[in-house]
């Protein structure tokens, strides 16, 4: 075997061929090339607009990566079927809003700074996680699924009720805004980029910070607006936090703590017969995972600038499950890859495909009923490419994929993956022995 | 806490039994699986627990180990009333059981299965397993555990399967893994439910020798086994259960002669 | 010993404190209700109306819960697609009702889609004016849902007979998503009105009157008939005995391995038919429906079934009545928006107190 001389290129090659990382990078690149191609064919051709599309997809993808990692802790490693993901997310972001919205806002909060509001939201989501875990201690998995789903619906129903929309505690007026969209505090990224971040984007962009100025000028070169550049910075910021999530969850998985979690998933009676207080482990994992979900939703909607309770329907939870199961629950890299595939192929590409079809075939406006649609090819195309139909078709596909995965590939698309539950290399000793 | 200390701490204990079971009862729907069983186990003994299928031996184990809650009766281990304790509380007190039908953790490697067992691992605390400053201590302990785990696997002759998923093991290998795991917890007393079923004869002999070694080290065993030869030659005393009740108790010689025991087995395995 | 105290405490909490608190809370509510009645804050007629509404809702939920309990007891998994079976049944049945009632006067495609375009006043469907259309719709709703349950079982669940309950549960979530959105794709999302106003019998109570609407009475009577029929089927037929044995006796299930396909098919057939009928009747009573109403009822039905001890048919009926009456009575104290949240909360507390369900964990099918 001839040894090639070491150059940066060969080193990159070696890195790329290192199993998981290679898979991840190749997959990420291909998926985003696909987004680029799809944008191109749906008539989005200017670099700035394509960048905007790609960053939009990347933003959602990173969020789902984080959600899948949080859920992996509970469901993948510990086998706790938490169907309340959306509820914990809602608690996180609404608590943050109650704490940090200015007292002068239309729907006021306590006016505390974000560095209190964000940890506060995470903490309260965690506390509710621990609270919901209490029944989990004694319940079978299917009861837990129902309890967590019911919990998440309670949260949503309470947030959207008139009682919560606006209430007064000890003379302070607070509120969730009810069914309306609730304005959120200014995102911390805006503060980095604009001198006057509370102004609407168009006005704020006129007076950028030095950092903002550099980025906005760079954006101008490719025709990307300040708003796009701002979201891009936000996405990069999210990416850093996603890496931290990965680090955290992997570290837990590769530790004696993670070993107990896995044992609980496999056979709880065995774990407890070996002296592990499985209840404590379950509570901790539920609290931690739920807090992480709360954080994800805080970061998500801070960027959006507002939030509505309608976002937190159970479908959101099911999305996260599909993302995780797709890549293989119980594996962090599986969760990451599953989320990327889920977001790009299932969540985002339908709207591009719809645009492409409408661009190329120019079907008529959607007919009133499915019978009118059956009168010809064009009306049919019109019917099935309406916004509502595409959304429905996407859900149908998701349902079918879920069934397919459970029937044929319970370990996910990547097949079975093992991650060793220890922070030392378990095979290490064997190797040293063989050498001697 | 050693057995010695806790015994002296417990003033009203009449005997020096390590495990004392009083009038234990458990029924499932209509079936009374355990019907008023009482016995005491001497520390440092290998006590045999025998009886025909369905006699209630495994249920007794489940009651002692906390997997089931007894309908009535008391269980005192090492001077502490552990009746109704959760399984993990029983285990952390030093009373650990094996399962009759081996319960390996199928999606975990054999090594992970074994390394799960030791008690009070530093890395089982969430912050220690994550935070950089604490992690080195965890790693040191993991290396020690890894060494012990490999030794245990070597003893049970399943070290060649160490990185294999436990779900891929054969029935006999699973029983060995089960035993290995129990020993790794470093208990004071071990409840073994038919640990030798499906194990090959040479290894079986080796395991029995190990049992005696451990007994000499001060471990106590309560041992369910179907092979009468093994029980008669290795256990003393022997407790016989039948239809949820204790039928007889005594040295192997007396049990061999006991008519009720012979009758319970309908002249089956007891005759040689 | 501290572990001992902890153990005792949790025992105490679960077996005494929580139930005791519940009893006290219930007692206080009764006292408060009495106070309100005496002071006239709540009229007797209002109370009677709440009770009657509760019975109607409870019978609907109970009927809808039987199928869920049945498949749970036989196949040991919580079917999350059950709510969408309800919707499916309602749409299948109302298609037929619309066609039978409106054929000749309206175009077939609009009738088949139970379209909101049609003027309800012109078709004039209600149980007194078009009883035949209603009965035919009910029968078709039951038959079509039974068929759907069998087909889904054949495609989705049968290949997974040896899978664990959780895999089946997740697969059923997939079925739920797909089915709901197929209905949405075909029928579209808007709510449609189904019936015209119907006569009611007023019975004067105290300071006012309670109206017993014809559709409410239809629902209660038909639900009761179907429940009694189910009871007879389970109790007096060979297949019913087999089903009870299968659900009751875990040993038998273990010995015979997986439940026999015949019993499984019967459970889907019977459960599906009852579910479809429930969907049709719920839509009849409320007079409107859309493609997600069943899904939105799912958690309420789960609550009822869990209250009754999941897997028990009689428990499901009792649980339905409890949830129904309690949720309507709670209008006295709670704003209507929070009634559902309250019902789910009651379910969670109930599970904490008695994980086997309030009416005991005995599986009677
Ligand atoms: N979980 C259970 N549910 C119902 N019956 C049980 C259960 N466990 C054991 N039994 C019954 O209790 C009796 C005693 O069983 P067991 O303790 O396993 O006997 P042994 O181990 O002596 O063979 C048997 O009749 C058995 O069927
Ligand atoms: Mg046994």
Q: Where are the domains of chain B?
A: 3-104+188-266, 107-168
Confidence of residue C255 (pLDDT cuts 50, 70, 90): low
Q: C26: which 2 tokens?
A: 């219930």
Per DSSP, what are the bridge partners of residue B31? Answer: B28
- Assess whether pLDDT exceeds 90 at residue C171: yes
C-alpha distance from A99 to closest chain B C-alpha (Å): 27
Residue C267 class from Cβ within 10 Å (0-12 exposed, 13-18 middle, 19+ buried)?
buried
Residue of B25, B29, B33 best suited for mutating to test ligand 1, as the one with most atoms within 8 Å of CB: B33
Instruction: Report d(CA B97, CA B87) in Å as an integer.
Output: 10
Instruction: Report d(CA B234, CA B220) in Å as an integer.
Output: 13
- Assess whether pLDDT exceeds 60 at residue B46: yes
- Assess whether pLDDT exceeds 60 at residue B13: no
Q: B101: which 2 tokens?
A: 């039908």
Instruction: Report d(CA B235, CA B48) in Å as an integer.
Output: 5
Chain A CA closest to residue B185: A274
CATH no., domain B3-104+188-266: 3.40.50.300
Nearest of C103, C100, C140, C98 to residue C120 by alpha carbon? C98
Confidence of residue C249 (pLDDT cuts 50, 70, 90): low
B86/C1 CB distance under 8 A: no
Any ligand 1 atom below 6 A from CB of B33 = yes
- Overall average pLDDT of the B193-201 stretch: 87
Confidence of residue C364 (pLDDT cuts 50, 70, 90): very low
Instruction: Report d(CA A307, CA C129) in Å as an integer.
Output: 48
pLDDT of residue C361: 44
- Let me know the angle formed at the C-alpha of A37 by A31 and A41, rounded to the nearest 5 degrees: 145
Nearest of B59, B113, B124, B86 to residue A266 by alpha carbon? B113
Sites in chain A below the pLDDT cut of 70: 1-6, 12-18, 136, 415-418, 427-436
Q: What is the pLDDT of residues A385-412, one digit of tens each?
A: 898 999 999 999 999 999 999 999 888 8
pLDDT of residue C357: 64
pLDDT of residue A210: 87
Per DSSP, what are the bridge partners of residue B97? Answer: B191
Instruction: Report d(CA C255, CA C17) in Å as an integer.
Output: 40
Instruction: Report d(CA C99, CA C125) in Å as an integer.
Output: 11
Q: How much is the pTM?
A: 0.91
Q: What is the pLDDT of residues C72-83, one digit of tens each?
A: 888 888 999 999
DSSP H helices, C76-211, are 82-102, 108-112, 120-123, 131-152, 165-187
- Assess whether pLDDT exceeds 70 at residue C3: no
Reported ipTM: 0.89
Length of chain C: 365
Q: A122: which 2 tokens?
A: 């995470």
- Assess whether pLDDT exceeds 90 at residue C62: yes
Helix (H, G, I), strand (E, B) or coil at B8: helix
Contact C191, C205 (CB under 8 A): no
What is the helix (H) or strand (E) element at residue C362, kind and residue range?
none
Any ligand 1 atom below 6 A from CB of B57 = yes
Instruction: Report d(CA C362, CA C279) in Å as an integer.
Output: 28
pLDDT of residue B268: 47
Q: Any idea what DSSP says for residue C16?
A: I
Confidence of residue B11 (pLDDT cuts 50, 70, 90): very low
Instruction: Report d(CA C27, CA A247) in Å as an integer.
Output: 52
Confidence of residue C362 (pLDDT cuts 50, 70, 90): very low
Where do the structural domains in chain C lie, given as residue ranges?
45-353
- The ligand 1 atom at the shortest distance from the C-alpha of residue B56 is 17
Residue of B56, B71, B99 best suited for mutating to test ligand 1, as the one with most atoms within 8 Å of CB: B56
- Assess whether pLDDT exceeds 50 at residue C309: yes
Q: B246: which 2 tokens?
A: 């204790």
- Overall average pLDDT of the B169-198 stretch: 90
A142/C165 CB distance under 8 A: yes
Q: How far, in Å, is the centroid of ligand 1 from the Cα of B118?
A: 30
C347 touches chain A (CB under 8 A): yes
- Let me know the angle formed at the C-alpha of B230 by B225 and B232, rounded to the nearest 5 degrees: 100
E strand segments, B107-253? 189-193, 220-224, 238-242, 245-250
Confidence of residue C358 (pLDDT cuts 50, 70, 90): low
Q: b or e along B151-186 (b: 16 or more beta carbons within 10 Å of the residue's beta carbon)?
A: ebbebbebbebbeebbeebeebbbbbbbbbbbbbbe
Residue A255 class from Cβ within 10 Å (0-12 exposed, 13-18 middle, 19+ buried)?
buried
Instruction: Report d(CA B159, CA B148) in Å as an integer.
Output: 12
pLDDT of residue C253: 54
- Assess whether pLDDT exceeds 70 at residue B235: yes
What is the per-residue DSSP string for C135-168? HHHHHHHHHHHHHHHHHHIIIIIGGGTTS-HHHH
Q: b or e along A312-328 (b: 16 or more beta carbons within 10 Å of the residue's beta carbon)?
A: bebebbbbbbbbbbbbb
Q: How far, in Å, is the centroid of ligand 1 from the Cα of B100?
A: 12
Residue of B49, B59, B61, B67 best suited for mutating to test ligand 1, as the one with most atoms within 8 Å of CB: B59
Instruction: Report d(CA B198, CA B209) in Å as an integer.
Output: 17
Instruction: Report d(CA B104, CA B148) in Å as an integer.
Output: 19
- Assess whether pLDDT exceeds 70 at residue C280: yes
pLDDT of residue C248: 64
B80/C7 CB distance under 8 A: no
DSSP H helices, A224-369, are 226-253, 256-266, 268-273, 278-304, 314-327, 332-341, 349-361
Q: Any idea what DSSP says for residue B19?
A: E
> Mean pLDDT of all residues in chain B?
87
Instruction: Report d(CA C189, CA C191) in Å as an integer.
Output: 7
- Over pLDDT 90: what percentage of chain B? 58
Residue C305's alpha-carbon distances to B212, C180, C295, in angstroms, are 55, 22, 15
C310/A143 CB distance under 8 A: yes
Task: Identify the top-confidence range among B200-214, C255-269, C280-294.
Answer: C280-294
HSE-CB at C165 with a 13 A cutoff on CA atoms is 17
Chain C CA closest to residue B88: C3
Nearest of C80, C66, C361 to residue C243 by alpha carbon? C66
Helix (H, G, I), strand (E, B) or coil at C213: strand
What is the per-residue DSSP string for A45-84? -SHHHHHHHHHHHHHHHHHHHHHHHHHIIIIIIT------
Summary count for chain B: helices (H), strands (E): 11, 10
pLDDT of residue C54: 93
How many of the other CB atoms lie within 10 Å of CB of A84? 31
Mutate to test the interface with C, among A368, A402, A408, A410 (most CBs of C within 10 A): A402
Q: How far, in Å, is the centroid of ligand 1 from the Cα of C242?
A: 24
Task: Identify the top-confidence range among A91-100, B209-218, C241-250, C346-355.
Answer: A91-100
DSSP H helices, A72-140, are 85-100, 114-138
In this structure, the strands spanning B31-41 and A182-183 are: unpaired
- The ligand 1 atom at the shortest distance from the C-alpha of residue B34 is 14
Q: What is the pLDDT of residues C233-244, one digit of tens each?
A: 888 887 777 777
In this structure, the strands spanning B189-193 and B220-224 are: parallel
pLDDT of residue B62: 94
HSE-CB at A10 with a 13 A cutoff on CA atoms is 5
Per DSSP, what are the bridge partners of residue C288? Answer: C193
How many of the other CB atoms lie within 10 Å of CB of A194? 23
Residue B81 class from Cβ within 10 Å (0-12 exposed, 13-18 middle, 19+ buried)?
middle
Helix (H, G, I), strand (E, B) or coil at C312: coil
Contact C247, C363 (CB under 8 A): yes
3-state DSSP helix/strand/coil % of chain C, to nearest 5: 75, 5, 20
Instruction: Report d(CA A305, CA A201) in Å as an integer.
Output: 11
Chains touching C (at least 3 CB pairs under 8 A) are A, B
Any ligand 1 atom below 6 A from CB of B49 = no
Q: Which residues of B have a CB under 8 Å from any CB of C?
A: 80-81, 84-86, 89
- Assess whether pLDDT exceeds 60 at residue B238: yes
Report cis status (omega within 30 of 0) of the bond before B237: yes
């Amino acid at each position: 075997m001839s040894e090639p001389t070491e150059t940066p290129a060969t080193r990159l090659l070696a890195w790329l061929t290192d199993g998981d990382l290679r898979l991840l990078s190749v997959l990420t690149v291909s998926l985003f090339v696909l987004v680029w191609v799809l944008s191109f064919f749906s008539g989005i051709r200017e670099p700035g607009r394509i960048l905007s599309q790609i960053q939009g997809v990347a933003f959602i993808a990173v969020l789902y990566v984080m959600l899948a990692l949080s859920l992996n802790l509970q469901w993948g490693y510990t086998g706790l079927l938490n169907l309340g993901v959306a509820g914990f997310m809602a608690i996180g972001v609404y608590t943050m809003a109650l704490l940090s919205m200015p007292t002068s806002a239309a729907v006021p909060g306590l006016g505390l700074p974000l560095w209190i509001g964000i940890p506060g939201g995470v903490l309260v989501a965690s506390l509710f996680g621990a609270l919901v875990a209490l029944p989990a201690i004694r319940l079978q998995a299917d009861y837990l699924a129902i309890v967590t789903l019911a919990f998440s619906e309670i949260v949503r129903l309470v947030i959207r009720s008139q009682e919560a929309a606006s209430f007064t505690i000890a003379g302070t007026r607070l509120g969730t805004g009810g069914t309306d969209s609730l304005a959120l505090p200014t995102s911390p990224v805006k503060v980095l980029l604009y001198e006057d971040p509370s102004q609407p984007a168009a006005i704020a962009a006129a007076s950028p910070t030095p950092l903002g100025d550099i980025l906005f000028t760079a954006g101008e070169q490719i025709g990307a607006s300040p708003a796009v550049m701002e979201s891009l910075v936000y996405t990069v910021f999210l990416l850093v936090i996603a890496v931290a999530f990965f680090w955290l969850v992997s570290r837990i998985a590769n530790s004696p703590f993670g070993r107990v979690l896995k044992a609980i998933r496999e056979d709880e009676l065995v774990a407890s017969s070996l002296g592990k207080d499985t209840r404590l482990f379950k509570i901790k994992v539920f609290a931690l995972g739920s807090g992480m979900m709360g954080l994800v939703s805080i970061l998500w909607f801070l960027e959006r600038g507002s939030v509505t309770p309608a976002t937190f329907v159970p479908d959101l939870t099911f999305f996260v499950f599909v993302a995780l199961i797709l890549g293989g629950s119980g594996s962090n890299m599986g969760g990451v890859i599953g989320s990327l595939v889920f977001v790009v192929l299932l969540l985002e590409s339908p709207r591009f495909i719809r645009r492409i079809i409408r661009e190329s075939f120019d079907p008529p406006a959607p007919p009133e009923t499915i019978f009118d649609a059956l009168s010809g090819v064009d009306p049919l195309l019109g019917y099935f490419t309406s916004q509502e139909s595409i959304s429905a078709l996407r859900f149908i596909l998701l349902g079918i994929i879920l069934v397919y995965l459970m029937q044929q590939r319970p370990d996910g698309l990547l097949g079975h993956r093992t991650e060793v539950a220890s922070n030392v290399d378990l095979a290490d000793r064997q190797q040293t022995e063989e050498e001697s | 806490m050693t057995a010695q200390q806790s015994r002296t701490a417990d003033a009203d204990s009449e005997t020096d039994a390590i495990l004392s079971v009083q009038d234990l009862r458990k029924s499932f729907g209509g079936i009374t699986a355990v019907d008023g069983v009482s016995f005491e186990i001497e520390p440092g003994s290998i006590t045999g627990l025998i009886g025909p299928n369905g006699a209630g031996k495994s249920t007794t184990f489940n009651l002692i180990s906390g997997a089931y809650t007894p309908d009535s009766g008391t269980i005192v281990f090492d001077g502490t009333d552990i009746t109704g304790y959760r399984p993990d509380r029983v285990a952390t007190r030093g009373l650990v059981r094996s399962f009759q039908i081996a319960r390996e953790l199928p999606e975990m490697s054999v090594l992970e299965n074994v390394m799960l067992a030791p008690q009070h691992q530093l890395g089982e605390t969430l912050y220690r397993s994550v935070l950089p400053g604490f992690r080195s201590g965890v790693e040191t302990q993991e290396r020690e555990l890894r060494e012990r785990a490999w030794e245990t696997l070597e003893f049970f002759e399943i070290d060649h399967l160490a990185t294999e998923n436990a779900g891929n093991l054969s029935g006999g290998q699973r029983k060995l893994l089960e035993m290995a795991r129990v020993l790794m917890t470093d208990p004071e007393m071990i409840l073994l439910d038919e640990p030798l079923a499906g194990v090959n004869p040479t290894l079986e002999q080796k395991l029995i020798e190990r049992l005696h070694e451990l007994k000499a080290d001060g471990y106590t065993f309560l041992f369910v086994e179907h092979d009468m030869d093994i029980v008669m030659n290795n256990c003393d005393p022997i407790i016989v259960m039948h239809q949820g009740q204790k039928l007889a108790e005594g040295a192997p010689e007396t049990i061999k002669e006991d008519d009720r025991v012979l009758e319970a087995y309908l002249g089956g395995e007891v005759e040689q | 010993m501290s572990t001992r105290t902890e153990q005792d405490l949790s025992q105490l909490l679960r077996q005494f404190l929580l139930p005791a608190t519940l009893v006290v809370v219930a007692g206080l509510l009764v006292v408060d209700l009495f106070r309100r009645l005496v002071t006239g804050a709540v009229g007797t007629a209002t109370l009677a109306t709440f009770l009657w509404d509760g019975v109607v809702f409870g019978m609907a939920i109970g009927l809808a819960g039987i199928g869920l309990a049945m498949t749970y007891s036989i196949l040991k998994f919580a079917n999350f697609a059950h709510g969408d079976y309800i919707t499916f049944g309602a749409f299948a049945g109302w298609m037929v009702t619309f066609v039978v009632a409106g054929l000749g006067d309206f175009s077939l495609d609009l009738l088949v889609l139970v379209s909101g375009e049609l003027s309800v006043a012109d078709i004039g469907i209600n149980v007194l004016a078009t009883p035949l259309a209603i009965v035919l719709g009910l029968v078709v709703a039951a038959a079509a849902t039974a068929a759907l349950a069998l087909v889904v079982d054949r495609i989705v669940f049968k290949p997974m007979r040896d899978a664990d309950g959780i895999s089946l549960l997740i697969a059923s979530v997939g079925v739920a998503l797909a089915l709901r959105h197929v209905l949405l794709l075909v029928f579209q999302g808007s709510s449609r009105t189904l019936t015209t106003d119907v006569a009611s019998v007023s019975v004067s109570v105290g300071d006012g009157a309670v109206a017993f609407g014809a559709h409410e009475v239809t629902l209660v009577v038909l639900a009761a008939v179907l429940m009694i029929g189910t009871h007879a089927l389970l109790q007096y037929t060979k297949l019913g005995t087999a089903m009870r044995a299968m659900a009751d006796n875990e040993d038998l299930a273990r010995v015979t391995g997986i439940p026999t396909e015949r019993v499984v098919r019967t459970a889907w057939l019977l459960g599906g038919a009852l579910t479809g009928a429930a969907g049709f009747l719920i839509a009849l009573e409320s007079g409107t429906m859309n493609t997600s109403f069943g899904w939105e009822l799912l958690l309420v039905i789960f609550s009822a079934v869990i209250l009754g001890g999941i897997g028990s048919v009689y428990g499901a009926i009792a649980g339905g009545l409890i949830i129904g009456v309690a949720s309507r009575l709670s209008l006295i104290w709670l704003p209507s928006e929070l009634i559902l949240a309250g019902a789910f909360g009651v379910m969670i507390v109930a599970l904490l107190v008695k994980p086997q369900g309030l009416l005991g964990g005995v599986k009677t099918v």
